[in-house]
């Protein structure tokens, strides 16, 4: 890493600080000079860990001088994803929740002191959006070199599928260079501009970060089993999945994993609630009396309403992943990692946050290993 990397960064839509952790890992000498988020619960967690409370002012009401005064070389952004999802009706730039990002794009054009580096994370489908088109067109016109990625933590050996869109942009020093590229990038189709592999130059960095976080690195690009992320001594009763949630589903269509599994589904803000479909994997804690045929029988089962099926599911002793386990799979530094690196700020939740709230906040956050790796690439190699 370049020892001169001592940047000032602004973190927009900061949440619980996933991008702050990313910058902390990628460039330890750099600092977040200001973070912005309107969610007071997320802000309380951020303050608890980083001892700095984010500004809760609406981003779309910020004025140029309020941003320019920081002279920040780096912008980190993880704007609301709902406008680009089925649940948000794909309203895209017409969704009021997109206004803050559109405002930042507009402000970027007017700033005298523009950031050298810009990093943005969002959900799959952002790459097809009108908002993305507006952002990329603006960055291109302002002379930024752009890279866009669709990546998942499984590509780095972490058994959790969280496929996300990432944009990296670096301001070119030479205007003549950027002018030549101005139209060519915009003419590319998605298959051409979307990169689906991590940069080779950042592989050593991501492996070293995994080693620092968990004490292991992937061997021969293999995924690790979930057992490395699971607390087998956890109180089952505290996190068990109520059978009432299961019975509400007419079909067997949820994801069950165990400690030997090498995958888990994306954890969303609905995880831990009655909305068990598509919100994240359920952990099977009883495996001794269950064989693969039982699971196959469930998969082809037309419904889960008959007594035999209900008994079979009950025998699995399903539970939710704890917030601590979800945090590990999202590669946050947590105390249970036995991390000896004192430079890490561990993720902790204030005692007054409920388990449900912790799941919600994590579901809205980012995978720290992925964003750390890409921020490292942005600051060192782009």
Nearest to 261 by CA among 160, 151, 369: 160
Whether 81 sits among the annotated catalytic residues: the reply is: yes
Please identify which of the residues 81, 118, 256, 304 carries the catalytic annotation. 81
Strand order through the sheet with 256-257: 256-257, 282-284, 318-320
Q: Which residues contact 264 (CB under 8 A, 6 or more apart)?
A: 159, 160, 161, 226, 255, 257, 280, 281, 321, 329
The catalytic residue positions are 81
């Amino acid at each position: 890493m370049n020892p001169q990397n001592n940047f000032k960064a602004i973190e927009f839509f900061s949440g619980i600080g996933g991008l702050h952790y990313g910058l902390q890992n990628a460039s330890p000498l750099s600092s977040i000079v200001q973070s912005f988020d309107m969610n007071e619960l997320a802000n309380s967690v951020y303050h608890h860990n980083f001892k700095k409370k984010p500004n809760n002012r609406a981003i779309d009401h910020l004025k140029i001088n309020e941003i320019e005064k920081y002279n920040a070389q780096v912008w980190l952004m993880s704007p609301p994803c709902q406008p680009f999802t089925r649940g948000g009706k794909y309203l895209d730039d017409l969704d009021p929740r997109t206004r803050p990002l559109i405002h930042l794009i507009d402000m970027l054009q007017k700033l005298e002191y523009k950031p050298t580096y810009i990093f943005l994370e969002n959900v799959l489908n952002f790459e097809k959006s009108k908002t993305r088109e507006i952002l990329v067109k603006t960055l291109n016109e302002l002379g930024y070199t752009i890279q866009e990625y669709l990546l998942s933590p499984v590509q780095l050996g972490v058994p959790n599928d969280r496929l996300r869109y990432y944009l990296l942009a670096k301001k070119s020093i030479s205007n003549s260079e950027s002018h030549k590229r101005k139209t060519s990038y915009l003419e590319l189709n998605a298959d051409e501009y979307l990169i689906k592999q991590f940069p080779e130059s950042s592989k050593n960095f991501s492996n070293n970060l995994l080693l620092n976080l968990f004490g292991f690195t992937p061997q021969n690009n293999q995924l690790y089993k979930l057992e490395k992320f699971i607390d087998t001594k956890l109180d089952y009763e505290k996190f068990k999945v109520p059978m009432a949630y299961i019975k509400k589903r007419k079909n067997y269509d949820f994801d069950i994993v165990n400690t030997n599994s090498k995958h888990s589904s994306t954890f969303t803000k609905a995880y831990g609630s009655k909305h068990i479909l598509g919100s994240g994997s359920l952990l099977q804690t009883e495996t001794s009396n269950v064989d693969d045929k039982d699971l196959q029988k469930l998969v082809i089962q037309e419904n889960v309403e008959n007594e035999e099926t209900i008994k079979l599911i009950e025998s699995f002793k399903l539970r939710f992943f704890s917030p601590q386990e979800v945090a590990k799979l999202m590669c946050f530094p947590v105390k249970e990692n036995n991390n000896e690196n004192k430079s890490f700020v561990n993720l902790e939740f204030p005692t007054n946050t409920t388990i449900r709230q912790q799941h919600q906040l994590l579901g809205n956050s980012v995978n720290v290993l992925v964003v750390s790796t890409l921020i490292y690439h942005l600051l060192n190699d782009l």
